[in-house]
Amino acid sequence: MTKKEKGRLVVQRLKECYPASCSLVAEKDYELLFATRLSAQCTDARVNKVTEVLFAKYPTLQALADAEEDDIAEIIKPCGLFRTKAHDIKLGAVKLVTDFGGKVPDSMEELLSIPGVGRKTANLILSDIYGHPAVVADTHCMRIAGKLGLTTGGRDPLKVETELSKLIDPAEQAPLCHRFVHFGRDVCTARAPKCEVCPLSDLCAERAKALKKKKDA
């Protein structure tokens, strides 16, 4: 079986089990941008609780741009790395207002010019806001794609993104990444994967290696 063939099967099976939905709650383009920034080393559930308070206090992009950085930091403190994230949110809001007319841009180059925005965040915006094909190489995506044997990039987001973009149909790239998140929390967890109920167990390169090692022992 080629990697492309395996990729198609992975897409098909996860499509039957999980929705292609983002776990972060956001109503506006900049809300998704900043929620994704807050999600670094933090759970989406906690981010959603924090952004509910943050966006209620600062209901517009201009309000966030005018906010005191320390006030933003105090609200987002539960997300960790709060001072760095508050700095990025403040500067990001100012840049969106001054350089982009209050709208989140739709190109990788422009998105990467915003403080705190990396390729993962940019690809999420390009796919979820603008509908472009994009691989969101977050921790779930990198870990699961590697275990399945679809990628060899390990924890290198750009390498994983590049490898998956060659294997997965453009229309399925972003949806698959969302499904990887749901799958990674539900079955293929980092600490205790539930291989016995995994819909991809027969496709998993890591499991195949483990079974072979056990057989040869």
How far is it, in rounded angstroms, from Cα 1 to Cα 186?
A: 27
pLDDT of residue 147: 96
CB neighbour list of residue 213: distance below 8 Å, 6 or more residues apart = none
Run means of pLDDT, 10 residues per run, the chain, 217 residues: 96 96 95 96 95 98 98 96 97 98 97 96 97 96 96 92 97 97 95 94 92 75
* pLDDT (0 to 100) of residue 125: 97
Which residue, among 186, 180, 181, has the nearest Cα to 13 in the 3D structure? 180
pLDDT of residue 72: 98
pLDDT digits (tens, 9 = 90+) for 161-197: 999 999 999 999 999 999 999 999 999 999 999 999 9
Task: Give the catalytic positions in this structure.
Answer: 120, 138
pLDDT of residue 217: 66
pLDDT given at position 116: 95
- The pLDDT value given to residue 215: 75
